[in-house]
Structure 1
Amino acid sequence: MDVLFDGLSILARWDVVAALLIGSVGGVIIGAIPGVGAAVAIAILLPATFSFDPIVGLTVLLGIYGSSMYGGSIPAILINTPGTAVNALTTYDGYPMTRRGEGRRALSLAYSASFFGGIFSVLCLIVLSPLLAAIAPHFGSREIFLAALLGLVLAVVVHRGQTVIAAFLVFFGIFINTIGLHTATLTRRFTFELNFLASGIDLIVVVLGLFALSQAFVLLVARDDSPKAAPVSGGLFQGLGELFKFPGTASASSGFGVVMGMIPGVGEFMAQFLSYTFAQRRSKTPEKFGDGAPEGLIASEAANNAVPGAAMIPLLALGVPGEALTAMMLSVFYVHNVVPGPQLFQNQMDFVMALYLALLILNVMVLIFLLFSTNTLLQVIRIPTRFLGVMILTLAFVGVYSLRNSVWDCAIAAVFGFIGFVLKRLQLPIVPIILGMVLGRIMEVKLRASMARVKTPLDFIDRPIAFILFCAIVIIIVMHIRTQLKSRKTETNQNA
């Protein structure tokens, strides 16, 4: 109880409350604008948060991360255009309900399912805290290295049909991280005698380029558009009660979100796919899925909103981010010398609890905000896409330059913006590059620290947790290869 009250006292500060309000409301607005999304917003805001207290900066980012998917459901349901990428599955059943004249019901169900999933994940997080505090000290350098390696393996295998390019992009991210002056040996690596590369390539520069600048380029070259949605008449409270007609779907989908969020490299898309498939299989009317089934809408929204809370588990307990957004948040920790991992749970449990409670409060704030302001948010959807592109481009370059007042950083960001633009046009993943940079840095540091106590390769896995992680990596790789070979054999038989 003392830890709970300590966490509440941290949140009671006026600047933290303001950050929570700005982040949660701002996240909803950003999510409701097609073509922006949480990744772009967080990338642009990252440089500004470095000057705040860690709890203030993280609260703003958590607010945007946790609430953007709420807002993303609005255009997904009303105009068949997902506000964020993770709301794509919401269009399957949300938009058909709107075409039937049930837009208000669809929005109400989406808000209710999102709220249920968000609260469910945070409660799981709070319940698991004592267990995390007990397990985290048993993770040494070897265990964290293997956990990071597991994250990279999962980041590759979840991209079905694109595993080769995902693996290449992961290694590209690891390579980017090696550029610059090596702090242990004081030698230059891959700088090619260029002085501006001696300090390395900053993660935030790459993030702003890959996410913000690339999205600006996409919006600028596309046809200018101003989407329009008809206002929603009536109250939006009915979904709060209707959700309880499908308690199994809501609970199971939230559970999928929690489990998938905890596993590094997986995230919202896998959680949505599994929860939607599960809901369809156990439904009495599976034929209605994709044609306006309330259960499908609940499964999608509950799963993706349960991920943010669960994604904080590997980040806080091990310092291993599960996807791009938590990887960005990790940089805020490092700037303020707050190192996520076992010591954080032992020495700063009040700080951890404050983050948990912030996630809990923001879900309540977002639900209340949406129930009364949905029609106002419809005006945001109408912002011209090319105007958005210009705004994102300007803010991104301002953010990059503010990091180190370097024109070279702007040039590097522009290069990565072009790379991100090409990858998006080819429909290839971007996240593996960021995970390669972040997890590659963790792996290098932990490998160097662990090698002093390792005499043979078997010594690396001679502890229980290290052995379990190693076995998990081997099993995942073997299962993936087996699945690939089986699918190729099936294709060959079909073509024969």
Structure 2
Amino acid sequence: MELLLSSLDILARWDVALALLVGSVGGVVIGAIPGVGPAVAIAILLPATFSMDPIVGLTVLLGIYGSSMYGGSIPAVLINTPGTAVNALTTYDGYPMTARGEPRRALSLAYSSSFFGGIFSVICLILFAPVLARVAPMFGSREIFLAALLGIILVVVAHRGQSLIAGALAGFGIWLQSIGMEPVKYTQRYTFDQPFLQGGVNLIVVVLGLFALSQAFVLLTSDDEKIRMTRLRGPLFQGLRELARHPRVATVSASFGVMMGMIPGVGEFTAQFMSYTYAQRTSKRPQDFGNGASEGLIAAETSNNAVPAAAMVPLLALGIPGEALTAMMLSVFYVHNVVPGPQLFQSRMDFVVALYLALLILNVLVMIFLLSATGLLVKVVKIPNRFLGVCVLTLSFVGVYSLRNSVSDCVMAAGFGVLGYILKRLSWPIVPIILGMVLGGIMEVKLRAGMARVKTPWDFIDRPIAFILFFVIIIVLAVHARHVWQDRKALKEAEWKSRHRSTSFGARLLRRRKFLLKERGKVVRGRRKMLSRQSTELY
């Protein structure tokens, strides 16, 4: 009880209340604008949060992270265009409801499902906080190194079909982190005698370039679309009653979100598809999925909103971000000398609980805002792409220059913006670069600290948690190798069948041609006989 009161005391400040309001409302608005997304907004706001208290800055970023998925469901339901990438599955059943004249029902159900998923995950994590506080101190330098290595491997493995590209980009991120002064002997690495590289490559510059500037280039080069909105009719409270009729689907989907959120590199997409598949297989009417099934919409929105709170677990307990957004939040901790990890749970447990309570309050504020202002938010969807592109471009360069008042940072950010634009056009992942930079630094520091007491390779994994993490890494690599082998085998079988079909078709075509020539020959010979017979009769 004392812990709860001290956590509430941290939140009982006017600046924290303002951060809660700005984060919740701003995240919904950002999510409702197709093409922007929370990553761009967080990247732009990140330099401004460095001057705030940790709880204020993190509350703003968490508000945008958690509430953007609420707003992303608005264009997904009304115009079949997801506001954020994780709302893509919402279009499967949300837009068909709109097409048959039920837009308010779809929006209400999406809001209610998101609210349930967010509240469920926060409550679970508040209840698990004492367990995390006991487990976190068991992680030493070797365990954190192996956990960071597992995080990079999971990120690479999650990009199935692009794992080689994702691995190369993660390696590129690790290399970017190594540029500058080496932390132990203070020797220069990869600076090429350039003074501006001696301080290293700033993570915020890379984030703003890869996410914000690249998205600005995409918006500026895309055409503005004329959007026709559907008129909203009916109450928005009916979704809560409809959600209550499907408690099993909502609870299981939220559980998938919590579990997948705690695993680095997995995130919302895996949780969504697992929840959606479960809901479809256990439904009495699976044929309705994709055509406006309420269970499908509940599964998609409940699971993705349960992830943000769960994604804070590896960040707070081990200092290991699981995705790009939590990697950006990690920089806020470091700026204020608040080091996430086992020590945070021992010395600042009230701060951890305060963050979870802030997430709980954010979900309530977002729900109230959506139920009262959906009619106004619908108009945000109509903002032209090029106008958004100019705004994002301007704010991004302002944010980069404000970091160190450096023109070279702006030039570097522009270069990473072009790189991000190319990667997006090639449909290659960007997240591995950011996680490579963040986790690469953690791995280097922890490996050097852990090797001080290591004499043989076995000494590195002679403790229980280290051995479990090493065993999990081996299992993940083995399973991924098996999947790659199966995919290649299936591809070769498909190529062989395709070649076999083409050969069979060619053979049938050749036989058909011979048959036609043979029949034509018979006709020609018959005509010749008939002509010769006629000429004989004439003479």
TM-score past 0.5 threshold = yes
What amino acid is the match of 1:99?
A: A
Match of 2:347 in 1: 347
Match of 1:387 in 2: 387
Match of 1:479 in 2: 479
Distance in 1 of aligned mates of 2:338 and 2:239: 41
Q: How many residues align?
A: 496
What RMSD in Å do the two structures reach over aligned CA positions?
Answer: 0.8
Indicate conservation of the 8 Å contact 2:145/2:447, yes or no. yes
Indicate conservation of the 8 Å contact 1:155/1:432, yes or no. yes
What amino acid is the match of 1:417?
A: G
Deviation at 1:166, TM superposition (A): 0.4
Matched, 1:107 2:100: no
Which secondary structure does the structure 2 equivalent of 1:467 belong to?
helix
Distance in 2 of aligned mates of 1:290 and 1:64: 29
Matched, 1:47 2:47: yes
Deviation at 1:291, TM superposition (A): 1.2
What amino acid is the match of 2:96?
A: P
Distance in 1 of aligned mates of 2:167 and 2:284: 40
Match of 2:215 in 1: 215
Matched, 1:359 2:359: yes
Match of 1:83 in 2: 83
Distance in 2 of aligned mates of 1:342 and 1:239: 41
Match of 1:411 in 2: 411
Distance in 2 of aligned mates of 1:293 and 1:162: 32
Match of 1:23 in 2: 23
Matched, 1:135 2:135: yes
Indicate conservation of the 8 Å contact 1:133/1:346, yes or no. yes
Deviation at 1:231, TM superposition (A): 3.3
Matched, 1:489 2:489: yes
Matched, 1:468 2:468: yes
Match of 2:96 in 1: 96
Match of 1:61 in 2: 61
Distance in 1 of aligned mates of 2:398 and 2:295: 44
Match of 1:203 in 2: 203
Distance in 2 of aligned mates of 1:228 and 1:252: 36
Deviation at 1:226, TM superposition (A): 5.0
What amino acid is the match of 2:348?
A: Q
Indicate conservation of the 8 Å contact 1:235/1:371, yes or no. no
Deviation at 1:282, TM superposition (A): 1.0
Distance in 2 of aligned mates of 1:399 and 1:413: 10
Match of 1:9 in 2: 9
Match of 2:503 in 1: none
Distance in 1 of aligned mates of 2:33 and 2:90: 15
What amino acid is the match of 1:362?
A: L
Q: Which runs of 4+ in 1 moved over 4 A?
A: none
Distance in 2 of aligned mates of 1:366 and 1:115: 8
Indicate conservation of the 8 Å contact 2:24/2:366, yes or no. yes
Which secondary structure does the structure 2 equivalent of 1:234 belong to?
coil
Distance in 2 of aligned mates of 1:353 and 1:246: 30
Indicate conservation of the 8 Å contact 1:226/1:383, yes or no. no
Distance in 2 of aligned mates of 1:166 and 1:24: 32
Indicate conservation of the 8 Å contact 1:89/1:300, yes or no. yes
1:135-184 CA-partner distances (Å, limit 9, x unpaired)? 00000000000000000000001111111100001000000000011121
1:228-377 superposed matches below 5 A: 228-377=228-377
Matched, 1:430 2:455: no
1:111-130 superposed matches below 5 A: 111-130=111-130
Which secondary structure does the structure 2 equivalent of 1:80 belong to?
coil
Larger Rg: 2
What amino acid is the match of 1:461?
A: I
Indicate conservation of the 8 Å contact 1:146/1:466, yes or no. yes
1:270-325 CA-partner distances (Å, limit 9, x unpaired)? 11111111111111111111111111111110010000000010000000001000
Match of 2:514 in 1: none
Distance in 2 of aligned mates of 1:205 and 1:226: 34
Distance in 2 of aligned mates of 1:403 and 1:111: 37
Distance in 2 of aligned mates of 1:100 and 1:29: 26
Distance in 1 of aligned mates of 2:391 and 2:265: 30
Distance in 2 of aligned mates of 1:86 and 1:271: 10
Which secondary structure does the structure 2 equivalent of 1:81 belong to?
coil
Which secondary structure does the structure 2 equivalent of 1:434 belong to?
helix
What amino acid is the match of 1:178?
A: S
Indicate conservation of the 8 Å contact 1:228/1:381, yes or no. no
Distance in 2 of aligned mates of 1:103 and 1:224: 24
1:43-89 CA-partner distances (Å, limit 9, x unpaired)? 00000000000000000001000100000000000001110011011
Match of 2:155 in 1: 155
Distance in 1 of aligned mates of 2:236 and 2:161: 40
Which secondary structure does the structure 2 equivalent of 1:20 belong to?
helix
Distance in 1 of aligned mates of 2:434 and 2:442: 13
Distance in 1 of aligned mates of 2:475 and 2:227: 47
What amino acid is the match of 1:50?
A: F
Which secondary structure does the structure 2 equivalent of 1:387 belong to?
helix
Distance in 2 of aligned mates of 1:232 and 1:460: 61
Which secondary structure does the structure 2 equivalent of 1:429 belong to?
coil
**Structure 1: gaps spanning 5 or more residues:** none
Match of 1:145 in 2: 145
Distance in 2 of aligned mates of 1:399 and 1:215: 15
Which secondary structure does the structure 1 equivalent of 2:393 belong to?
helix
What amino acid is the match of 1:79?
A: I
Which secondary structure does the structure 2 equivalent of 1:230 belong to?
coil
Indicate conservation of the 8 Å contact 1:73/1:110, yes or no. yes
Distance in 2 of aligned mates of 1:302 and 1:286: 19
Deviation at 1:332, TM superposition (A): 0.2
Deviation at 1:438, TM superposition (A): 0.5
Distance in 2 of aligned mates of 1:292 and 1:231: 18
Indicate conservation of the 8 Å contact 1:231/1:378, yes or no. no
Match of 2:520 in 1: none
Deviation at 1:491, TM superposition (A): 2.5
Distance in 2 of aligned mates of 1:444 and 1:351: 28
Deviation at 1:224, TM superposition (A): 2.2
Which secondary structure does the structure 2 equivalent of 1:51 belong to?
coil
Deviation at 1:91, TM superposition (A): 0.6
TM-score by length of 1: 0.99
Indicate conservation of the 8 Å contact 2:103/2:230, yes or no. no
Match of 1:190 in 2: 190
What amino acid is the match of 2:343?
A: Q
Indicate conservation of the 8 Å contact 2:33/2:72, yes or no. yes
Indicate conservation of the 8 Å contact 1:89/1:272, yes or no. yes
Matched, 1:227 2:222: no
Distance in 1 of aligned mates of 2:141 and 2:368: 44
Which secondary structure does the structure 1 equivalent of 2:306 belong to?
helix
